[in-house]
Chains A and B, each alone.
Chain A
């Protein structure tokens, strides 16, 4: 592949001071070192507006999707995505129906091992992402799953995690942020994950409140670490949330929120400069959620993170505008997203590297797979470094490019396993993509290229790729190499 003119120019601009790129020279080496690797970008050219839009909004096109968007137009596509219906295709509903963990209450799941609950949770998540036409909702579910990260292997959290997924993350994915925050703060899985279930008022031995949830609530869920709070605020918020716990009494339904008044610190508190009078109970915590939900720093922090998720390094172009909408609409996620998703920056901004999860889902969609979403796929995600619900720390999987460039080998192995029936329960249907009557290299290449990249195989980029791969005539191998290519790692 020759570097395209545009790319060379773009890189020259990044290098500044007119330092020319490439070549085994000390200058080039210094350039590469002083510029964080994240800022080296693929060219924006050779990708159509529709494909870019689909890649940025969804987990990538399924065969026929690009043509459909061309027909209905970007605005109608986004309206459809921003206002998803509850219906799902039969293939998805049927497969979800067999997953018991998502159908019944946490209190009834106790006779199954934790691994089984987590397995079903992972399967459901993946099946939704691959098969649901409401792709934007699925991407926002992924976003909020990371924002309100919970590690399924801590304690007995696994039993409460399906409820968290359904009632916190999925229900509110395109709803209002304050509702999302409030349901999360009442979620038994979250309360256990961040130890608030043992957050109690100071005891006679002097042991104080447990700060874990209070801190992450401010640092990761709302204001952000530079949001202007102090260690004292963390301690005061922890006191407000004393007694917010999980039902565990005999003969009571487990897996529900419970306010334990006996453990609550009823003294006066001050949170972010706002006085909370003594003598109250569960209202103290409600008040905290109210204060942080309305806080401009929350609007800013949440908006920036959403923009990074969709725009990568181009986030700055939209995050302030989105924060304004947050404040104006009371954190209405749909309204916050709409103008950003309709903006020129969405399709013209710098490419964003797919994390292993979106990489895998986009490959599964591009090849129109028939999958049960089961463990074999999740083992590949694990080797790529992104098994679902398995990030131990509360910050969620990293979003920076440099964290993920080490996963390429595992991605290549996934690509070859996928196309050679190497993933149990997941079959590709190349016959849907190829033309049965014509089977020459060029025809096969063109059809695979169009399906995998959602792009016209008549482009220069396709011609270059066609030339590169011409010694690989088997369609399966060709498909694997296209999915392994650097180009397919970006969206």
Chain B
């Protein structure tokens, strides 16, 4: 198949009715617009869906054209990891040179690598003599030392509400604060403003129960919890083909949000038929931690990348075993959180090996946490947070950004680490230099990016 060209009905999204590899090489045609899809087109669509399905089954992975046209600049696959709940940047990437850090956090500080009074296992692991990682983040230390992992400290949005939901919305929408601007997500706008003729139904995938705001506005994004579970459970005596066709029949023509989503779902099912996540064997001796939702998600991203299903963007949440919202007893839960993040990331990078050259992964959070620990031996919502960047062209081995300091006069009026790097500066570099999207004004409207130097 591969080069097969067949007339198709249209579904109102401007895309052919069905996904599957048989449409990938077909140029979209500018048919005269019709309000009423004709009965004939409708029947044809149904018949085709069966043909398409059969072809899909027999097609080799090599038939799939990845990332659109061959002559387009090669762009990276973008992976967004959102640490939800306000991850404490100060305990993830520890400013061991700050007295104030140890004074204000008498119970929950992370000991400096040089502090021999503390067990080696409880000491931070050194990055550059000044900065050090939480001990459970040790799996990321080699990446930093090899120059593959970049860190940006004291970064964040302009959100002053210290509300999880406002701050997340601001970042997912790509705005200074939630109150201003567009309701669509910045990743959605990125996808919308790059060439996506003939793109895969699995172009953008969120590993989540619900679609994150990051992807809002993207018509071709999919939210799924697990590749293995993303299949039709067949009732006895009903072949998949019949069920698929019956559903297609129900979802073929509606222009409501559900009908559109149903068609997307059916197209994704077609494409996913071609990979087998249960049999995925990580490369380079990588071992993904078991019982980690995050690592399982990354492993599935790896499976999709290796399976060449046309993935351009993957969005994952990092919630961890205890959540990042560590208002209470931070010392008892934070290590497990950090460990879950680091072990998953390290396994993914190892698995991908040289493929990392065409991947950019960013881990970020809605805000950092207050310097002063609270009465519950935890920390409340703060401002400046931390970002991690790894992948092709990353200027790693460095803690980027301008450090504002932790003495009272250097903190903001509430006592929080100041934000000195707008998170959009980091993302803008990635969008322009790695994702080859020059429409930065569309992705981050009303924003003039300043160089940070995290990627090139």
Residues in chain A within 8 A of chain B (CB atoms):
1-3, 7-8, 11, 20-29, 32-33, 36-38, 40-42, 195, 198-203, 205-212, 215, 219, 225-226, 231, 234, 242, 263, 351, 353, 383, 385-386, 392-393, 395, 397-398, 401-409, 412-413, 416-417, 419-420, 422, 468-469, 471-472, 476-477, 480-481, 484-486, 489-490
Contact = CB atoms under 8 A, between A and B. Distances in A.
A1 B262 contact: no
Interface string B264-276: 0100010000000
A219 B253 CA distance: 41
B238 A477 contact: yes
Contact of A398 (B210, B224, B225): B210
Nearest to A41: B256
B253 A393 contact: no
11 contacts: A2-B39, A24-B10, A24-B15, A28-B14, A205-B107, A219-B161, A263-B375, A393-B84, A416-B234, A416-B235, A468-B249
Given A24-B28, A231-B160, A199 B376 contact: yes
A260 B252 CA distance: 62
Contacts of A209: 374-375
A490 B256 contact: yes
Interface string B11-49: 111111000000000001111111111010000000000
The 6 closest A-B pairs by CB, nearest first: A385-B209, A406-B223, A29-B14, A198-B376, A405-B261, A23-B33
Contacts of A490: 256, 258
A33 B189 CA distance: 9
B211 interface: yes
Contacts of A405: 211, 257-258, 260-261
A226 B169 CA distance: 14
A210 B257 contact: no
B235 A385 contact: no
A198 B375 contact: yes
A413 B233 contact: yes
A356 to B, nearest CB: 9
B33 A406 contact: no
Most chain A CB inside 10 Å of its own CB: which residue of B107, B210, B381: B210
B374 A392 contact: no
A212 B233 contact: no
A464 to B, nearest CB: 10
A25 B229 contact: no
A42 B211 CA distance: 21
B296 interface: no
A406 B257 contact: no
B255 interface: yes
Nearest to B319: A392
Interface stretch (B140-148, B214-222, B393-401): B214-222
A207 B375 contact: yes
B253 A211 contact: no
Contacts of B10: 22-24, 28
A225 B376 contact: no
Given A209-B375, A392-B323, A486-B254, A408 B262 contact: yes
B224 A406 contact: yes
B292 to A, nearest CB: 16
Given A219-B165, A409-B232, 8 more contacts: A24-B30, A24-B31, A40-B255, A40-B257, A195-B328, A212-B380, A393-B85, A408-B262
Contacts of B217: 33, 36-37
A3 B414 contact: no
B432 interface: no
Given A21-B12, A24-B15, A198-B328, A486 B259 contact: yes
A322 B15 CA distance: 43
B69 interface: no
Contacts of B118: none
B197 to A, nearest CB: 10
Nearest to B268: A409
Contact of B219 (A32, A225, A409): A32
Chain B interface: which size bin? Answer: 35 or more
A407 B104 CA distance: 45
B258 A25 contact: no
B34 A33 contact: no
Contacts of A205: 106-107
Contact of A215 (B35, B85, B162, B183): B162
B12 A22 contact: yes
B246 interface: yes
Contacts of A1: 252-254
A383 to B, nearest CB: 7
Contacts of B11: 22
A7 B255 contact: yes
Contact of A3 (B206, B255, B380): B255
Contacts of A38: 257
Contacts of B58: none
B17 to A, nearest CB: 10
Contacts of A29: 13-14, 219
B316 to A, nearest CB: 15
Nearest to A354: B258
Contacts of A28: 10, 12-14, 33
A419 B243 CA distance: 14
Interface string B345-384: 0000000000000000000000000001111111011000
B60 interface: no
B327 interface: yes
Contacts of A199: 375-376
Contact of B380 (A211, A383, A471, A472): A211
Contacts of A40: 255-257, 260
Given A210-B328, A406-B261, A468-B250, A395 B165 contact: yes
B424 to A, nearest CB: 21
Nearest to B376: A198
Contacts of B166: 225
A42 B260 CA distance: 12
A416 B243 CA distance: 10
Contacts of A413: 232-233
Interface in B145-162: 160-162
A439 to B, nearest CB: 18
B164 interface: yes
B404 to A, nearest CB: 18
A22 B224 contact: no
Nearest to A213: B327
B97 to A, nearest CB: 21
A11 B328 contact: no
A211 B374 contact: yes
B257 A402 contact: yes
B233 A234 contact: no
Contacts of B420: none
Given A28-B12, A32-B13, A393-B84, A403 B255 contact: no
A404 B375 contact: no
Contacts of B206: 406
A2 B36 contact: yes
Nearest to A226: B179
Most chain A CB inside 10 Å of its own CB: which residue of B225, B229, B328, B372: B328
Contact of A36 (B184, B229, B253): B184
Given A8-B35, A29-B14, A37-B260, A417 B233 contact: yes
